[in-house]
Amino acid sequence: MTTRPKLILGSTSRYRRELLERLRLPFDVVSPQVDETPLDGETPAALAMRLAAAKAAAVAALHPQAVVIGSDQVAELDGTPIGKPGTHERAVAQLRAMRGRSVVFHTAVAVQHAASGYSGAALAPVNVRFRDLADAEIEHYLRTEQPYDCAGSAKCETLGIALLAAIESDDPTALVGLPLIRTCALLREAGIDPLQP
């Protein structure tokens, strides 16, 4: 019987940590220290993939015996990336721009195990249709939820679901920030099967 390698989540996101806890695997959390500045001409999907891989690689370089998960999410409206608003005013502007529209949330996950040379990554796009929101609805939501640390200013796992007309995805946790179906597949390839004790 081989010993399961240590698992590390290379992320400071509490949402990703909470999602990974669903797999009931022991894991540590390490901040990846990665510059998240987009490259010139980089598409939102490519940005998400690059950052997920960079986060996994940064932590794997420090912990080569561990299996490391990196993840990133970039929202896209009309080809333009939408980041975390940070402030109430920016969140208002984001939700006004998205009302009545479809936004693609590109959620990428990368898994690396430096000791074995394993490196894998996957993208889980989520198409989200926002309702045609009134200004008063936007204001009430933001004052209630304060989702200023979420791409696109909305948290679908709580009151933010009321902002939406539809969510289309084949990996249901991708919108929250970590696509667990794809994560499980990559972990199995790296030698960690969540269903094996």
Catalytic residue numbers read: 72
Residue 76 vs residues 3, 21, 96: alpha-carbon distances, Å = 41, 28, 14
How far is residue 68's CA from residue 1's CA, in Å, rounded to a whole number?
22
Q: Is 36 helix (H, G, I), strand (E, B) or coil?
A: coil
CA 51 to mean position of chain CA atoms: 10
How far is residue 96's CA from residue 93's CA, in Å, rounded to a whole number?
5
Instruction: Take residue 110 and report the two structure tokens written for it.
Output: 């990368």
How far is residue 107's CA from residue 126's CA, in Å, rounded to a whole number?
8
- The residues with which 96 forms a beta bridge, in sequence order, are none
Give 160's contacts (C-beta < 8 A, 6+ positions apart): 141, 145, 147, 150, 154
